[in-house]
Every structure is written in structure tokens, then in C-alpha cells.
Amino acid sequence: MSKLQQVAGLKQLEQLRNLYSRDSKYLKEFYCLENYLELHKKDAKLRNVKVYVLPELELGLFVIVDRYQLFMGCLESADSEELLKDSLSQLTWFGGLQCGSMPHRYFKAATQVIQANKLRLKNLITNSLFLSQEKALQFEVNPPVGFYLKSLSVKDAQVIDDHWKWSEPGSLFFMQRQIAYNICVGLYEEENGELVA
């Protein structure tokens, strides 16, 4: 079993991300890595984020621990499931972790590690739908009468976290960081300026 090690700089993270650009089935993994790459470019001392890989970077295995959230990826091969399971077993699971945006192909390995650590497993299946840029650009987005769209501000994070189904201790910081470092749009009521979506 190879031992997980922390990513050694942006170049290694870029190399890892590029491994996922070869096949569209890895869109989630590609954009997950892209997001953390951009976050690291904006904040070199990104707090509470650890990106782990195997010494054999070409396997494409990564595990990102962002406070209580866990993101993962592994290029498919004959032994990728076992590699992922071994890698996840190396993490400290005390108190549990929330596996975010995890493709179905990782469920078996993740579930086995969660059960081995005697943690509560709460499954929530969501679907990701993709639309080509060409088709997306055909849509005209107009808010309903009485509402307007504008960029979110960091102060909006509290409202979002208060209403977010997956809010946890520490998720407010996550929301604040996402808003500060990414393009985020909210829907506001014209009458009172209240964020509603």
C-alpha cells in the first residue's frame, strides 16, 4: 500500500488536474481540482485544506480534506477501487467527514471505509447534469418581476449558511471563502434587497 503524501505545490496539482482532462466522465474530478488549484493561487496559505496524492501521480488518485468535507478521485484501472479504499483508510475519520460531490464509482470503497470506522452513513444521491457551452449561451436569464440578480457579497454567507440543508459547524467559513474567491450570483427581492436564492 502506497502512503498518501501532501501535494508539493501548484505544479503537481496542475499535473494531477490535467490527468482528468482526457475523458468527460471525470468532469467532477477535473473541476474539483480546478477549484482547489484556483483557490491555492488566490491564497497560498489556504487554511484547513489538505490535498493528498500517492507518490505515483499518474494513477490520478487524490483526496482533498477541506475542514470536514472530503473530495476524492481516482483514474479507473483494475485496482483503482482498492487503491482508493487503502488511501481513504489512511485518513483520520474521528468525528466523520462529509463526502461531497462523489461520483457513484467511488461509493463502494468509501462505504467500506466508513463502515470499518463505525461511522454513521447518510446517503444522499444527487445528479449532475451537463450542458454544452453552445447550448447554455442560447438561454436568456431574466429574473421574475420584483427580483434582481447581483454578485453575492461575503456578508450574504450567513444567510446562505442559515438556510443551507448541509450546514455544519465550519460551513459558514466555507461559504465565505467560496463567495470571496469565486463568481457567485444571488437572487434578491427589489422591495427589501433580501437574498432569496
pLDDT tens across 49-88, in order? 999 999 999 999 999 999 888 999 999 999 999 999 999 9
pLDDT computed for residue 83 by the predictor: 95
- Cell numbers that stand for 114 in this block: 466508513
pLDDT computed for residue 168 by the predictor: 84
C-alpha distances out from residue 46 to 6, 18, 27, 54, Å = 13, 21, 24, 21
C-alpha distances out from residue 9 to 51, 94, 107, 113, 196, Å = 10, 27, 29, 28, 39
pLDDT computed for residue 85 by the predictor: 96
- Torsion, Cα of 52, 54, 56, 62 (10° steps): -50
Ramachandran angles phi, psi of 99, nearest 5°: -85, 110
pLDDT computed for residue 118 by the predictor: 87
Asked if 183 and 150 touch (Cβ cutoff 8 Å), the reply is: no
Q: Which residues of the chain have a pLDDT value below 70?
A: none
Residues composing the chain: 197
pLDDT computed for residue 95 by the predictor: 73
Closest residue by Cα to residue 80 from 14, 129, 29 = 29
pLDDT computed for residue 68 by the predictor: 85
The predicted model scores a pTM of 0.85
Task: Considering only CA atoms, give the Rg of the chain.
Answer: 19
* Displacement of CA 100 from its chain's centroid (Å): 6
